[in-house]
Amino acid sequence: MNSAAELQKTILAALIANGELATLVGSRILDHAPANVVFPYITFGRTSVYDWSTGTEIGTEQLFTLHVWSKGNGKKEALEIMELARSTLHDGALELEGHALVNMRLEFSEARYDERNEAYHGVLRFRAVTEPTV
């Protein structure tokens, strides 16, 4: 199975399993938000996959982004959701099918008001390194 697809599937399961996060966003963790989606919610953003194989090892480096969307009063709700997602994924010991997760770390985060959507927008960019297990 493709390591990026497997990682996203595993990330989705980990985020949904976080009870505190589920209280805030429910199951609204989406690839693409449909029209009239209920706030707050999380969407998967860009994923970039790089080969870091060597002469003796095969592996990939993946940069992926989560977007948090909130219409809560101020940035508080967006920041709370961002922290719950960070604490779930940063250095997380997630089990992937067909791949081993070497590490996963938050590399960047930002929260701002998005005037076009009239919502608070949080961005979390993670770096994950995976190796095939077969």
Beta-strand relationship, 41-51 and 60-70: antiparallel
- Taking CA atoms, 55 is separated from 51, 58, 59, 75, in Å, by 12, 8, 11, 47
- In a structure prediction context, what are the per-residue pLDDT tens digits for the chain, which is 134 residues long? 589 999 999 999 999 999 999 999 999 999 999 989 999 999 999 999 999 888 888 999 999 999 999 998 889 999 999 999 999 999 998 999 999 999 999 999 999 999 998 999 999 999 999 999 97
CB 66 within 8 A of CB 126: yes
Question: Would you kindly state where each structural domain of the chain is located, as residue ranges?
Answer: 3-132
Distance CA 133, CA 32 (A): 30
Q: What fold characterizes domain 3-132? A: STM4215-like (3.30.2000)
